[in-house]
Amino acid sequence: MNSIILKTASRYLLPLLLLFSIFTLLRGHYLPGGGFVGGLIASIAFVLYAFANTLQDTKKLLKIHPGFLMPAGLLLSFVAGLLPLVVGKPFMTGLWFAEKVPVVGSIGSALFFDIGVYLVVIGASLTIIFTITESNQ
């Protein structure tokens, strides 16, 4: 696409959408949101950037292939689910630290599970979209 308005807007919208996706990820413990919705918002940010610029520019911006995010996210989610087994609780039981972090709030195994889901959703959706885009060029 050759729209200078979209190219300029995408440069400003990318960091804002990524920040909003992290906000949605962190908000998911207490209110609607979480890893899945946050991952979709982040994916949309990169797809918008790819539409406005080129797919190669977006890949340079990512620095790694999005397919590597999927196993990393799956591993993180699986480890977050296994942590309660270490302390003698059932699989996927929520464990929480006693101290609260000022911006994030309570940190627990659910946050790490959500971060894993966030990475899987970004990796899967961008891999699919980038593959479809490359095959059409």
Residues in the chain: 137
What is the structure's pLDDT at 1? 67
pLDDT score of 3 more than 90: no
pTM of the model: 0.91
Half-sphere exposure of 93 (CA within 13 A, CB side): 10
pLDDT score of 82 more than 70: yes
CA-wise closest residue to 53 among 18, 16, 10:
10
∠ CA 90-94-96, rounded to 5°: 130
C-alpha R_g of the chain:
17
Tokens of 41: 């918002």
At 67, the amino acid letter reads G
pLDDT tens-digit map of 5-42: 999 999 999 999 999 999 999 888 667 788 999 999 99
